Structure 1
Amino acid sequence: MIESKLISKALFSDKSVKSVNNLKDYAGIEYIASMNQTHSDLVTFVKSSAVYDSDGIYTEEPKLGLVVKTADCMPILLSDKKRIGAIHSGWRGLKSNILEKAIKKFDVNELSISIGPHAQSCCYEVKEDVKKYFNDYTELRDGMFFLNMSKVLKDLSEKEGFQVEVSSICTICNSSYNSYRENKTTARQFGVIWK
């Protein structure tokens, strides 16, 4: 488990955690809300334990934990004094501005964001069809383009003035994490946040 240094009640699992219930027990969370993630830009306000058709959820409920499941996409956990949130974002989410849409739901002056392990620029190769959306965030190496997704959020934090911490762990080259890019697994690791 990786506990956020920026958000007191937020953590990220590795692939050894097989069930959301393990996280629920570990964190002492009474109820869990999670997402049926589809690489959309939907950010949904939630009040109860359920699975929501969304790639972002946020709440003000004190006994409700929020879970995001990822393999290579960014698990993004958000917190201000009133609300918590969980966002799933890969390049499609970044392209559709899910981060900006989620941030608008929070007090940016009180906002802290933690990004867990995800596909990093060391390994995250993209083709021209993706690169064209992220010219400032791709690097050309050996004739291939590599995307730095977390830099998009870092730049947004500088512009908007909120705090952000980013895990340096790459899910593609670190065998402790599930990676769809590396081995087409359907298994996921979890990010969880609670109040």
Structure 2
Amino acid sequence: MNVAEHFLFPEWPAPAGVHAATTLRTGGLSIGPYASLNPALHVGDDREAVLQNRRLIRERLALPSEPVWLEQVHGNKIVRAGAVAGVPQADAGYTDEPGVVCAVMTADCLPLLLCSADGERVAAVHAGWRGLADGIIGNAVAALGRKDLLIWLGPAIGPERFEVGEEVRAVFVQKSPAFAEAFKPHRPEGKWLADIYRLARIELNALGVTSIYGGRFCTVAEPDRFFSYRRDAVTGRMATLIWRD
């Protein structure tokens, strides 16, 4: 099997020893709207199929351990991966330990990967608009305790598909007028198109982080490769993972 057919590998200058990937929707055992490599247990898919998909992900990526899966709640909490028993309720995980796999799951929300320039610290972040507005990126940067970070923006809803209401735009513009440039008017009146990648870049730049890569995908527009909640409602999830030797 050609592993590259079923995974997306970040194009970024991460240090040797830092490994990362996003699963695509192909190459798994799930069927129906979850076809086929769905790793999410919370979306209504057959549990055994999901567990087998997780096994396939571990084997194909030669992961050093089971990923630290999270119960994501569209919040701003980041946890030290592997330090909490069970499934932590959080939207980001970080580690400075070798062999610990940080993971988030998305299907339109933005997955971000972070690593320090020396490769000693890594993190995976799930950022929907609520998490972005509530500071999930800032919390992740603070948890890593570094500004010399490399960032990769994984597959999310594209800027021509992310329609939001005035109330969403208002949340960001009230936080900082700089966010206004990530929105453009869209019919019907009172609707806007939001660029979730731009929102993340504005936040990162304000934090002093400028080495940012990725951000050229659209989950809604590529049904053969990506799950999309906005497109399909009932669907699976992609997993975005990062770990270090």
Please give the secondary structure, in 1, of the residue aligned with 2:132.
Answer: helix
C-alpha RMSD of the superposition: 1.8
Deviations 1:74-96 (A, max 9, x none): 01111113211111111000110
Equivalent position amino acid for 1:189 in 2:
M
User: Aligned match of 1:146 in 193, 208, 224?
Assistant: 193
User: Aligned match of 1:168 in 216, 220, 224?
Assistant: 216
More strand by share: 1
User: Aligned match of 1:188 in 225, 237, 241?
Assistant: 237
Please give the secondary structure, in 1, of the residue aligned with 2:143.
Answer: coil
Instruction: Tell me, yes or no, if the aligned pair for 2:141 and 2:147 is still in contact at 8 Å.
Output: no
Identity score, percent? 23
Could you tell me which runs of 5 or more consecutive residues in structure 2 were left unpaired when the two chains were aligned: 1-6, 27-36, 39-52, 174-179
**Structure 1 95/156 Cα, relative in aligned 2: closer, same or farther at 3 Å?**
closer
- Does 2:111 correspond to 1:75? yes
**Structure 1 79/149 Cα, relative in aligned 2: closer, same or farther at 3 Å?**
same
**Structure 1 50/114 Cα, relative in aligned 2: closer, same or farther at 3 Å?**
farther
Deviations 1:123-145 (A, max 9, x none): 00001121212341211133431
Count matched residues.
195
**Which protein shows a greater Rg?**
2
More helix by share: 2
Equivalent residue, structure 2, for 1:112: 150
User: Aligned match of 2:62 in 28, 37, 47?
Assistant: 28
Equivalent residue, structure 1, for 2:176: none
How does the TM-score come out when normalised to structure 1?
A: 0.91
Could you tell me which runs of 5 or more consecutive residues in structure 1 were left unpaired when the two chains were aligned: none
User: Aligned match of 2:90 in 54, 58, 63?
Assistant: 54
Equivalent residue, structure 1, for 2:34: none
Report deviation, 1:106: 2.0
Equivalent position amino acid for 2:75 in 1:
S
